[in-house]
Amino acid sequence: MESGFYSASGSQPPEFFSPFSKNNQSRVKQVWAVGGGKGGVGKSLIASNLAISLSRLGNEVITIDLDLGGANLHTALGIDLPQQTLSDFIKERSPSLNQCVVPTGIPHLSMISGAQDSMDIVSLSSTEKERLVQNLKLLDADYVVLDLGAGTNFNTLDFFIMSDTGLIALLPEPTSIENAYRFIKGAYYRRLKMNPHLAKIHPLIEAASDAKNSMGIRTPSDLFREANRLDPEIAMRLKLEITKFQPRLIVNQARTQADIDIGSSVKTVCKRYFGIEIQYVGYLDYDPAAWQAVRRKRPLMLEFPHSKLALNLEKITQQLIKQHSPGSISFL
Ligand SMILES: Nc1ncnc2c1ncn2[C@@H]1O[C@H](COP(=O)(O)OP(=O)(O)OP(=O)(O)O)[C@@H](O)[C@H]1O
Ligand SMILES: [Mg+2]
């Protein structure tokens, strides 16, 4: 059986169906996760600079490098590899996640650096993942921003789907677009499979996640039809879960209007063929400031605060905050 947040704790419902913000002990208002199926699409650049942008608005922010294999978020933030990293927590050398939080030198922004042992997120057991999730909620921050690794392994997908805001970065290139679709579909089916209320139709969901399944389930509406045949009540629950899944998309390194429009095309395709409502929250211009900042080991927002890219990132931060502010529609 695949690993999952709730498999280790038996009958407990999976945590990611209760967003962090709803936990009474938690100060954390929002968890944002930046993923995308492919490596090098700008996940760390986006995570680090959204975190800076949030902190500049006066929020206490902690950003966490969950790219356990190739952790380098600290470099994007312009600091040396901290002594304490996530591996200390995972290997239980640090009893609490709070002890792995280090200052970045940027007001209101701290970070937890990625594991540095030869460990990757795939090898995180469900017990380790659950402990990490429980501790994430207790961090002393308004926002927690997760920098996910590349790929679509279950652990990465789980951190994405448990977040309040899941962001997918893609480059305007066929391989990156393909990987983004794979990531979206993977997260979508993972979310449904992990929902205990849909247990009765798990075999159907399992079948649906195989694009060549013999039951002819190709789209969420096919899945709904089959679920409805089995149990109309569960089918309604399924519909609700499908509408709740609303990942956000960012097109990175846009050079032309056609690049910018890729975000809208992906949105349309997701809606038409998968029934998934993606929100295209904006694009980031291709900007040499990005690699110049990396070479100087300085965060882009601080080194080039007036660059096109910094302004793009600020705009996206504001847009995301607005979506969750009182009076706006909550998707969770
Ligand atoms: N908008 C942009 N304009 C120019 N260069 C960019 C832009 N965004 C990212 N880059 C460059 O692309 C490279 C990859 O970015 P980044 O490290 O953030 O990607 P990543 O998705 O985190 O990669 P990995 O999967 O390896 O962790 C970096 O050198 C960065 O400077
Ligand atoms: Mg990265």
By residue count, the chain amounts to 332
Q: What domains are there in the chain, each with its CATH number?
A: 15-324 (3.40.50.300)
Element (H, E) at 32: strand 30-35
Q: Convert the pLDDT of each residue in 150-184 to its tens digit.
A: 888 888 999 999 999 999 999 999 999 999 999 99
Q: Mean pLDDT throughout 220-225? A: 86
Reference 167, options 63, 298, 60; nearest CA is 63
State the Cα–Cα distance between residues 319 and 284, nearest whole angstrom. Answer: 14
Question: Which are the contacts of 54, defined by CB distance < 8 A and separation ≥ 6?
Answer: 61, 142, 143, 145, 317, 321
> Closest ligand 1 atom to the C-alpha of 285?
1
Report how far ligand 1's centroid is from the alpha carbon of 213 (Å). Answer: 36
SS3 for 6?
Answer: coil
Q: Mean pLDDT throughout 2-24? A: 41
Buried b (16+ CB within 10 A) or exposed e, 265-291: ebbeebeeebbbebbbbbbbbbbebbe
* Among 50-59, 71-80, 116-125, the least confident range: 116-125
Reference 276, options 234, 240, 239, 245; nearest CA is 245
State the Cα–Cα distance between residues 226 and 233, nearest whole angstrom. Answer: 12
For residue 167, the ligand closest to its alpha carbon is: 1
Report how far ligand 2's centroid is from the alpha carbon of 300 (Å). Answer: 14
Report how far ligand 1's centroid is from the alpha carbon of 46 (Å). Answer: 8
Tokens of 222: 């096919």
Q: What is the mean pLDDT of the chain?
A: 87
Q: Mean pLDDT throughout 303-307? A: 97
For residue 291, the ligand closest to its alpha carbon is: 1
pLDDT interval class at 70 (50, 70, 90): confident
pLDDT reported for residue 304: 98
**Looking at per-residue confidence, does 325 or 256 come out higher?**
256
State the Cα–Cα distance between residues 37 and 244, nearest whole angstrom. Answer: 21
Q: Is the pLDDT of residue 272 over 80?
A: yes
State the Cα–Cα distance between residues 248 and 242, nearest whole angstrom. Answer: 15
* Among 36-45, 111-120, 270-279, the least confident range: 111-120
Q: Convert the pLDDT of each residue in 178-197 to its tens digit.
A: 999 999 999 999 999 989 99
* Cβ of 309 below 6 Å from ligand 1: yes
Q: Convert the pLDDT of each residue in 87-99 to its tens digit.
A: 889 888 888 999 9
In this structure, the dihedral spanned by the alpha carbons of residues 250, 255, 258 and 262, taken in order and rounded to 10 degrees, is -20
DSSP 167-190: EEEE-SSHHHHHHHHHHHHHHHHH
**Looking at per-residue confidence, does 26 or 8 come out higher?**
26
Report residue 288: phi and psi, to 5°: -55, -20
* Among 121-130, 190-199, 219-228, the least confident range: 121-130
Tokens of 294: 């990396």
pLDDT interval class at 24 (50, 70, 90): low
pLDDT reported for residue 2: 35
**Unique residue bearing structure tokens 């429009």:** 261
Among left, alpha and beta (phi > 0; psi -120 to 50; other), residue 327 is left
